[in-house]
């Protein structure tokens, strides 16, 4: 099935409570374009990681996070942009190694990289823009990518 083009933009306050609004917008878009239910969880998890990172690491109190959701014939593109925190440099390595097993933090980028078909992280003004692409697989189920041992 071919996706109907659709665009959605959500601007939320940089608080964890705002994550629910982003999830609602993404769920509504996935329903609108008839995204396969068995594939929704990877999008929701990746989106949650990107938004939480933007709130926690790329925003100041009273700041905002912008989320753009765009669908086209082949899939969905999700863009999460934060405003930046003048006290922190806007540097993120999309290819960073996983943290030590003993660490309870630092796995968000690794999770996004694994769930999205493509992941791009780049500076955007004072902040950071995370762009993830999710291809819609034929038959509705996302084909697992080969793993490197």
Domain boundaries, the chain: 6-135
Q: Are 124 and 105 in contact (CB under 8 A)?
A: no
pLDDT band at 39 (very low <50, low <70, confident <90, very high): very high
The torsion of the CA quartet 41, 98, 63, 123, rounded to 10 degrees, works out to -110
Pick the CATH number of 6-135 from 3.30.565.10, 3.40.50.40, 3.40.50.2300, 3.20.20.70: 3.30.565.10
Q: In whole numbers, what is the pLDDT of the chain averaged over residues?
A: 83
pTM metric for this prediction = 0.82
Of 5-9, 24-28, 50-54, 145-149, the poorest mean pLDDT is in 145-149
pLDDT at res. 138: 62
């Amino acid at each position: 099935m071919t996706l109907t083009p659709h665009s959605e933009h959500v601007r939320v306050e940089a608080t964890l409570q705002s994550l629910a609004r982003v999830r609602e917008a993404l769920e509504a878009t996935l329903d609108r374009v008839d995204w396969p239910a068995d594939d929704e969880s990877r999008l929701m998890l990746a989106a949650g990681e990107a938004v939480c990172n933007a709130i926690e690491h790329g925003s100041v109190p009273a700041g905002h996070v912008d989320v753009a959701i765009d669908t086209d014939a082949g899939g969905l593109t999700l863009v999460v942009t934060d405003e930046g925190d003048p006290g922190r440099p806007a540097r993120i390595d999309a290819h960073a190694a996983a943290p030590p097993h003993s660490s309870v933090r630092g796995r968000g980028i690794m999770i996004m990289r694994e769930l999205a078909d493509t992941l791009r992280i780049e500076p955007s003004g004072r902040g950071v823009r995370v762009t993830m692409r999710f291809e819609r697989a034929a038959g509705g189920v996302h084909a697992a990518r080969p793993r490197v041992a």
